[in-house]
Amino acid sequence: MNFDLTEERQMLQDSLRRFLRDKYDTATRNKILESDTGFSADIWNGLAELGVIGALFTEDQGGFGGAGFDIAVVFEELGRAGVVEPFLDTAVLGGGLIADLGNDDQKAHVEEIIGGTLQMAFAHGEPTSRYDLNRVSTSAKVDGDNVVLNGRKAVVVNAENADMLVVSARESGDAGDEDGISLFLVPSDTKGVTLQGYALLAGGRAAEITLDDVSLPMSSRLGEAGKAFKAIETRVAAANVAICAETLGAMETATRLTREYLMTRKQFGKPIGTFQALAHRMSDLLIEMEQARSAVIVAAGHLEAEYRSRESHVSAAKNLLGRAGRLVAEDSIQMHGGIAMTQEYELAHIAKRIIMSDHRFGDTDHHLERYIAIAAA
């Protein structure tokens, strides 16, 4: 099999890597992390002009990519540089759901997203839902020509910066049913929408959202009433591939920094990387990283496959990347020593990104159980 990138993807990867190398150093990132918005508008617009957001949508949707390998290429480079801008939430999740389910008027927003002028957030998780995508308690009740939303959403990434929210709500059924879940396009300044924002540990910002009698026109619904669950699963699968690729990129940076440190730091007159114990530990990290790379390739290649194949490969990759990523982050810190925990050193942020990526849309234990359940079905 040929795992080389196509010419177009190689050009995208090279351009993105060059842009981030020139524009996104540790000092720049630290300023972004300390800002009120949690992202840089200049970086966001620059990457939009470069075509990075367009690469996450298919040609039919107005982009020029959108396949699993396109997502993996983009997010591996974003992970390598420790980028905190909300590409996952705006493009893969929010924009992707509009592109998948929206009518012609709603799909017009995709062009704005690709151009970098519209930001999105996906308000789906709730205080009691944990990793269960079907556990939606927020209600949507029809009231004449409108629909009224009531409920709470938890850890909505990029909610404060979003111009529009894609909100899940239940129109029928019980809290754990797959049927009955709908999606609604909600302008963030709609009356009754209250946000309580906070900074995230690994960069960026999120918010708790309260929906109190939020009245929307029927035209705000995305797709059919009560039939949004499959689209949510599909988009979360794409998000998990993106997260795995981002973790892989961060692992590459962590191992590079560790290797450079081991060959620079000297004890007893020679680099500590020449000592057998540290050389063996470094070899273990490189082996884990290559195994993780294989898992990302397989998951990206099955993103357009039928449900069972797609979900089993995505869960397998998420489990492996979670385990391998934690090992790489922890061992890299151990081999560096105290300098790895300082904010001025790049590894501190990269390690946080690796560890926290395991907790979005299911950690290693959740995806192991899910893989077993899918295989047994």
> Can you say whether residue 164 is alpha, beta or left, with left for phi > 0 and alpha for psi between -120 and 50 degrees?
beta
Looking at residue 1, its pLDDT comes to 57
* CATH architecture classification, 230-376: Up-down Bundle (1.20)
Q: Measured between alpha carbons, how far is 29 from 273 in angstroms, rounded to an integer?
A: 29
Residues of the chain with pLDDT under 50: none
Nearest CA to 243 among 311, 165, 300?
Answer: 300
Looking at residue 180, its pLDDT comes to 96
Q: What CATH number should be reported for the domain whose range is 7-119? A: 1.10.540.10
Looking at residue 224, its pLDDT comes to 95
Q: Measured between alpha carbons, how far is 75 from 222 in angstroms, rounded to an integer?
A: 27
Count of residues in the chain: 377
Tokens of 288: 């884990």
What totals of helices (H) and strands (E) does the chain contain, helices first? 12, 10
What residue spans define the domains of the chain?
Answer: 7-119, 121-225, 230-376
Specify the fold of 121-225: Butyryl-CoA Dehydrogenase, subunit A; domain 2 (2.40.110)
Looking at residue 2, its pLDDT comes to 67
**232 and 179 in contact (C-beta within 8 Å)?**
no
Looking at residue 250, its pLDDT comes to 96
Looking at residue 67, its pLDDT comes to 93
- Taking CA atoms, 222 is separated from 148, 180, 192, 291, in Å, by 15, 13, 20, 39
